[in-house]
Amino acid sequence: MGMTMTQKILAAHAGLDSVSAGQLIEADLDLVLGNDITSPVAIHEMDKMKTKGVFHKDKIALVMDHFVPNKDIKSAQHCKCVREFAAKHEITNYFDVGEMGIEHALLPEQGLVVAGDVIIGADSHTCTYGALGAFSTGVGSTDMAAGMATGKSWFKVPSAIKFQLVGKPSKWVSGKDVILHIIGMIGVDGALYKSMEFVGEGIRHLSMDDRFTIANMAIEAGGKNGIFPVDDLARAYMKEHSKREFTVYEADEDAEYEETYTIDLSQLKPTVAFPHLPENTRTIDEAGEIAIHQVVIGSCTNGRLEDLKTAAEILRGKKVAKGVRCIVIPATQRIYLDAMELGLIRDFIEAGAIVSTPTCGPCLGGYMGILAEGERCVSTTNRNFVGRMGHVDSEIYLASPAVAAASALTGTLSGPKM
């Protein structure tokens, strides 16, 4: 029996000719990632191991992005812990205030992840890098510690689900709508510990930003990872951003998939996940009139330049509705600069939005947009669990940048004019 893309990457990194679903392997790691919340736990675990150092100072990335600039004393202490660890071990890829961005946008931009890599990160949305044809997955802080110390990690080889993408999406349908549609279709455990492998001619109509968004939310369907084949667009992205060599793996024709779904992108409509699960989806024309109090456009899911361009196109020359707080967060400093040079920052501010330094803040209820009791937020983030962005009696509606921007203008959950 043949192997899927994911299985081929894992086999190569385990030094094996082949692997099969359910097999336990130990694989070499190309990168270990941590942030200001998860890294301190891993560092303390490494202290218990009494290791002499890290396995490779160039193959660890520490990104201070969740509560940075520090929101309180506790977050400042966490960052101090990581900062001192990075200095002690001469970690090459340490990103702090002024250099940092939201980790899953920053690492591809910095060229630290490429096709064929095996990457673990102590953050569940590490699966983002599958957009480049890498195997990347989230782990706990203890696994991160072991990875930093040894450069290896244990995996159970996942089985796979194939998503055959066909057709061309309409103007306001983006990668966010694609993945919300899929999660609504299969549920938040529909791909539990499986590799979500996206194939088909429809991929050529998806930008790299679309693909990063889709891979990013594989975990919201329970997936172990999400992965795309490496085409000319992915190759061009890696050659622009990275000096590293990359390896392209392709699934065998006889690779085994537990299920296959065909998604016609031309039939999709802007889609929203209603509270309190990403699977609770409706198309925008099914949404009804729901008053909102806040809009967040940003995060590791939708804070890239294309997302900001879309939002600005809708907001330009208009005003955010009275009583709505619209918060825009470019995902990296580079994206912030590019948005500024394109005039997007002016568009946002003149529309009545605020623009923040890169941070994960509001997505996890940290800061920069906490919700009070009874408030509703349309957000381009990736989770809408109870209390995720603040009070347990607040509500989050997950949507694309287009829907978020349109909603900011009306003060109700709204779609862009088609």
Q: Which pLDDT value is given to residue 417?
A: 81
Tens-level pLDDT at each residue, the chain (418 residues): 799 999 999 999 999 999 999 999 999 999 999 999 999 999 999 988 878 899 999 999 999 999 999 999 999 999 999 999 999 999 999 999 999 999 999 999 999 999 999 999 999 999 999 999 999 999 999 999 999 999 999 999 999 999 999 999 999 999 999 999 999 999 999 999 999 999 999 999 999 999 999 999 999 999 999 999 999 999 999 999 999 999 999 999 999 999 999 999 999 999 999 999 999 999 998 988 899 999 999 999 999 999 999 999 999 999 999 999 999 999 999 999 999 999 999 999 999 999 999 999 999 999 999 999 999 999 999 999 999 999 999 999 999 999 999 999 999 999 888 6
Domains observed in the chain: 5-263 (3.30.499.10), 271-410 (3.30.499.10)
Q: 257, 182, 235, 261: which is closest to 6 by C-alpha?
A: 257
With a threshold of 0.85, does the pTM exceed it?
yes
Position 287 scores a pLDDT of: 87
In the three-class reduction of DSSP (H, G, I as helix; E, B as strand; rest coil), residue 120 is classed as strand
Secondary element (H or E) of residue 137: strand 135-138
Token pair in block for residue 261: 């779904």
Q: Are strands 376-379 and 395-398 parallel, antiparallel or unpaired?
A: parallel
Rounded to whole angstroms, the Cα distance separating 180 from 163 reads 13
The continuous run of DSSP H or E covering 240 comes out as helix 232-241
- DSSP at 414: -
How far apart are alpha carbons 179 and 311 in whole angstroms? 19
In our burial notation (b when 16+ CB lie closer than 10 A, e otherwise), range 141-169 reads bebbbbbbbbbebebebbbbbbbbbebeb
